[in-house]
Structure 1
Amino acid sequence: MDVGLGTAILFVLNVVLLIFVLFRRRRRPGEPPIVPHTYPIIGAALEFGRNPLGYLRNLRQEYGDVFTVELAGWNVHFFTNPVDVKYLEKNRILKHDKVLYDFATRVVGSPHAIDVSGKHNPRGPEVMAGMTKAMRGSTSLSKLTESCLTITTYAFEQALRKDERFIQEQPIGLYELAGKIIFDTTLYMFFGYHKSLKQRLEEKNRFYDDFMFYFEKSALLVDRVSINLLPKVKAARNRLLEEMNNIEFKNRVGVSELIKSMNEIDKNNADERARHLLIILWSSQANSRPALFWTLFHLLKQPQAVAKILQEYNEVMEMTMSRQKKKTNENIPDRSLLSEWLGMDDIMELNRTSLDKIVILDACIRESLRLVGSSMIVREVDRNAKVTVASGNKYLVRKGDFTAFFSPLTHMDEVIHENPEEYMYERHLVEQISHRDESSEDISDVSSICSTDSEGLSKKNRLKAKIRYGVPGYRVSASRAILTFGYGTNRCPGRHIALIEIKLCVLIFLRHFRLELLNPDEKPPPFDMRHLGFGVMPPLSDVLVKISPKVN
């Protein structure tokens, strides 16, 4: 190497080191302790990425419940005590607006109006209000459930009926299968569909491969890698945006209220409309696909849970059919995609209310979300202020800093969830003694549901979801015991329909198919750490299953 060049490089490195020493953050009185790190700018990102839960637990032992870490240029105040979440949730100086806007910008580019405050786009509040109303409103959710009931049967038929591996009873990847079913279900449930099967298949062929590739690589964008450094990802995203612009919704059946509202709001903003549609498609897949995979994987290890789910399903189905015979003026949803293959159309007897009564499956889904949920719930500090926590301690935080809570700190807490490393769906259920006695007790074993009353539900041993976790002095509510979808008013607005979708898919798998692991002793695959912090962790590798139709 040329001596002059070497000297120049050494000089630059010394200057960078000097700047780092002179301008690194220094703790002020009242602020959380600062965790020292080795690398400038990168900070503790490498240590955190290797074993995030272990890293934060070790720091908690050394520095206490609250400490400051530099992560990729951000000063992040980590709160590690689960009982402090409700205090973070209610603190008005901690804002979600910029975090959400930046996230959407990385995923779909700009311009867009995913902007709650309207600081970046004045149309943001209108767009976000329309999204929230369409996803959380009771009427809208009921309509989405009706669509999901029909479309899920179609998605199963498309994924399996002509697949040679299914026909020949050869192994199929469970994550691959979950991806196909979730993609069809979410695409048609939200965006509607063509009446023509040929047009539907042509559209899916244009979308599917690009979307799956883009979704897998989008983790790099969220980690702030410029899309200009990823030419194949950029090309895939551009093709997807072009497809979104070319959709003619007037020629489609079953378009959701969410998409209708976006089209109305964005009718004069084609570029923003395409990005809003793409973020809806992306977010509808992000957690649903891995959540379905993990729920099925865990259930395949729990045959007793499967038997109890099917027993509960049969009781709820009998009760629902009995009630529907008495109704005469129901609005029947569009059923043009309803598949009668393998008798799957029996799922249409269910509705949103009856699905809520299948509580054992709810508990199984919650337990899977607990084990694989890795949400990093981040808020930006709006102004210099103090944050008070459950202990009464107050911490000074600076404007522009970030607070964070890593959901596994709650999910794997031994007081909140006893034996947290184990899959125990019973931990999410309590047993009601009777209809009149509303007292309930935790159960360690879900016994068979016994004789039923006039509503078709058990008089004794009736189960319901647990509402509190932990012990006196260290309790959290049900909404804060599983934080895969975030916390507070900024929780994922699509979580309700996502859980309904997963629930329906699991019920169809269990009721109409024989599904088993190719290797009964299969261990859970490792997580794909590229998606750390997003929500539900995808598996790094697929798991092979054998699947065949049940003879009804």
Structure 2
Amino acid sequence: MASCLVLVSALLLTLLIAWICAHSRRRRPGEPPLLTGWLPFLGVTLDYARNPLGFLRATQRKYGDVFTCAIAGKFFTFVTDPFSFSVVVRQSRNLDFQKFALGFSHRVFGHADFTHPQFTESYREVHGIFRQTLQGAALEQLSESMLCNLQTLLDRAGPGEHGWLEEGLQSFTNRIMFEAGFLTLFGKDAGFLPERTSMQKAEREFLEFDGAFPLLAAGLPIALMARAQRAREALAEELRHDELHQRRCVSELIQRRMDVFDRMSLDEAGKARTHVCMLWASQANTLPAAFWSLYYTLRCASALSAARSEIERVLSGQMWNSPDGRIRLSREQLDSMAVLDSIIEEALRLSSASMMIRVASADFTLRLDSGQTAAVREGDHIALYPQLIHMDPDIYPDPTEFRYDRFLDERGQRRAHFSKSGRRLKLFLMPFGSGASECPGRFFAVQEIKQFLVLTLWRFDLQLCGGGALDPDGRRAGLGVLPPARDVPLRYRTRTHTHTHTTH
């Protein structure tokens, strides 16, 4: 009882100190408007979390294009003018992304603190591996592996002669994309494919950990979330180096990361947790992005017709000419699918709610595109919320509607630019971030989603059974692509033409 009273007293004291600190801050000359709220520690967190886009729009109307908010014990200066996004992205001298990102990753995934000087050079080498293995020839090899794995899994998923199968669309997308992505990066076991029960277990553990991510990102220690911690450690056990060394077809990306981590003074658990981080980064946004891309295509007859026409054009004759009945897609063929590109980009525009964060490394003055200046304090967070652009009706008319051809020009090619108030924007679609925080795996992510759409729409007739529009789950706002608020029933069967080609 006494220990509980001490703990409660300590917690109350901490909150009191945080409240005093938050409310002792006063706006200095030249600084943006300051919103501290009245709640200790939380500041305006509840107002922001309830509806981030609505809160930022309302605050922008009241205070202008730049303002500072006290959120969860930290101060975030939001820049909301879309023409100033590129100004912030270019501010590498005064704004640091890596320190924030590595500190966040260390806290959530439990691996080593790579901001420590002893890891500086090694981590630069690790970061360089992304550029070397997720572009060019290495990317083509990775995409070929993904395409092969997707086909194997879809062969297994197909109803064959048994007519229609029923499953949730999210369940269908997750199980196919998770296993294919896992195998592509981390390889296969001694058999051709891991036992299905093993992959089902890994998928459940991933989704359990991922489901807790909003609370972890908000600062709740994982030690207070027993199920999420168990899931993370179970994934780490699966991705221990001694386990990975026994697998076949491990990607060059993972092999080279393993080599660097083996040279670093990391314990085995720490190495494995870096792979859990890699697994999460490769899946957390790709799974919902694939879901939304297929969902919107199936809900829009014109999108489905245009997508299938494009797929037929590219795959015409392949099934007869391929001795093993397998589809092969070159990078040039994937790049030529402008309709699928537009579908994916439009799905990302509607579902992405990421927040780009930089930390001020010193006091400095930020000059916006308009010429307005804002004094920024060392340690404050500078935040961009790209959904302000994605849902701006001046940039995207009827922004809540899905238009499969929104990113196509009059010739049916990828649209090169968008404008606001008659002025061309440098940044108009930012689901993968930009600048130092731009996702290094964005090219692979788009290719694997496109492969999934090609194979699924080519092989199956699919019907959504749920009525009404489906909304994203806003609880993950700020973390990337939002998953659906619920699953939607799906019926699917093997398309007749696919069966005919395969048995020709």
Using the size of structure 1 for normalisation, the TM-score is 0.82
99-108 vs 286-295, greater mean Cα deviation: 99-108
Shift of the 172–246 alpha-carbon distance from structure 1 to 2, 3 Å rule, reads same
3-state SS, counterpart of residue 406 of structure 2: helix
Quote the offset at 1:208 in angstroms: 2.7
Q: Give the structure 2 partner of residue 50 of structure 1.
A: 50
Name 1:465's counterpart in structure 2. 414
- Matched residue, 2:100: 99
Distance 1:339 1:545 in 2: 32
Change (3 A) 1:224 1:22: closer
More moved, 30-39 vs 101-110: 101-110
Q: Distance in 2 between matches of 1:82 and 1:263?
A: 40
Check if 1:522 corresponds to 2:468: yes
Task: Give the counterpart letter for 1:391 in structure 2.
Answer: S
Q: Note closer, same or farther for the CA distance 1:321–1:156 as it changes in structure 2 (3 Å cut).
A: closer
Q: Check if 1:476 corresponds to 2:406.
A: no
Counterpart-to-counterpart distance in 2, 1:283 and 1:410: 24
In structure 1, the partner of 2:187 is 192
Structure 1 residue 247: Cα displacement: 4.9
* Counterpart for residue 308 of structure 2: 310
Is residue 490 of structure 2 the alignment partner of residue 545 of structure 1?
A: yes
Cα distance, 1:194 vs. partner?
2.7
Aligned to 1:70: 70
- Closer/same/farther in 2, CA of residues 181 and 112 from structure 1, 3 Å limit: farther
Which letter maps to 2:400?
Answer: E
Map residues 143-542 of structure 1 onto 2, 5 A cutoff.
143-160=141-158, 167=162, 169-194=164-189, 196-197=191-192, 199-201=194-196, 203-245=198-240, 247-268=242-263, 269=266, 270-318=268-316, 345=326, 347-348=327-328, 350-431=329-410, 461=411, 463-471=412-420, 474-477=423-426, 480-519=427-466, 521-524=467-470, 526-542=471-487
Cα deviations across residues 156-197 of structure 1 (Å, max 9, x unaligned)?
2344559xxx95634310111111011111111111113514
Question: Deviation of residue 321 (structure 1)?
Answer: 10
Q: Is the 8 A contact 2:174 2:287 kept in 1?
A: yes
Mark the runs of 5 or more structure 2 residues left unpaired by the alignment. Answer: 498-504
1:485-515 Cα distance to aligned partner (Å, 9 max, x none) = 1112321111111111111111112111011
Deviations 1:40-93 (A, max 9, x none): 211111111111111111100110000000110110000111111110111121
> Aligned partners of 1:266, 1:99: CA distance in 2, in Å?
21
Aligned residues: 485
In structure 2, the CA distance between the partners of 1:15 and 1:101, relative to structure 1 (3 Å rule), is closer
* Paired position in structure 1 for 2:112: 111
Whole-angstrom distance in 2 between the partners of 1:20 and 1:491: 36
Counterparts of 1:539 and 1:398 in 2: how far apart (Å)?
38
Cα 1:400–1:339 shift into 2, 3 Å: farther
Q: Please tell me whether the aligned partners of residues 376 and 405 of structure 1 are also in contact (alpha carbons under 8 angstroms).
A: yes
Could you tell me which amino acid in structure 2 is paired with residue 539 of structure 1? P
Aligned in 2, Cα 1:509/1:412: closer, same or farther, shift over 3 Å? Answer: same
Distance 2:216 2:397 in 1: 37
- Cα distance in 2, alignment partners of residues 30 and 378 from structure 1: 21
Does residue 124 of structure 1 match 2:119? no
- The superposition leaves residues 377-400 of structure 1 with CA deviations (integer Å, 9 ceiling, x where unpaired) of 111011111111110111110110
User: Does the CA contact (< 8 Å) of 1:430 and 1:466 recur in 2?
Assistant: yes
How far has the Cα of 1:551 moved from its partner?
0.7
In structure 2, the residue corresponding to 1:413 is in which secondary structure? Answer: coil
CA, structure 1 residues 285+118, in 2 after alignment: closer, same or farther (shift >3 Å)? farther
Partner amino acid, structure 1, of 2:480? G
Equivalents in 2 of 1:271, 1:172: separation in Å? Answer: 37
Tell me the amino acid that sits aligned with residue 544 of structure 1.
P
SS at match of 2:461: strand
Q: Which digits, 9 at most, give the CA deviation of each residue in 1:233-288, with x for residues without a partner?
A: 22222222122116544443322110111111112433332122111111111111
| Separation of aligned partners in 1, 2:15 and 2:142 | 58
Which portions of structure 1, spanning 4 or more consecutive aligned residues, are displaced by more than 6 angstroms? 12-15, 319-322
Question: CA, structure 1 residues 355+319, in 2 after alignment: closer, same or farther (shift >3 Å)?
Answer: farther
Q: Is the 8 A contact 1:112 1:275 kept in 2?
A: no
Distance 1:471 1:404, change over 3 A: closer
- Computing the radius of gyration from Cα coordinates, the structure with the larger value is 1
Identity %: 30
Residue type of the alignment partner of 2:176: I
TM-score by length of 2: 0.89
Q: Which residue does 2:501 correspond to in 1?
A: none
User: Contact (CA 8 Å) 2:163, 2:493: kept in 1 or not?
Assistant: no
Q: 1:430 to 1:243 in 2, by over 3 A?
A: same
Tell whether the 8 Å contact from 2:74 to 2:380 is kept in structure 1 after alignment: yes
Q: Distance in 2 between matches of 1:535 and 1:159?
A: 29
Contact 1:154 1:339 in 2 (8 A): no
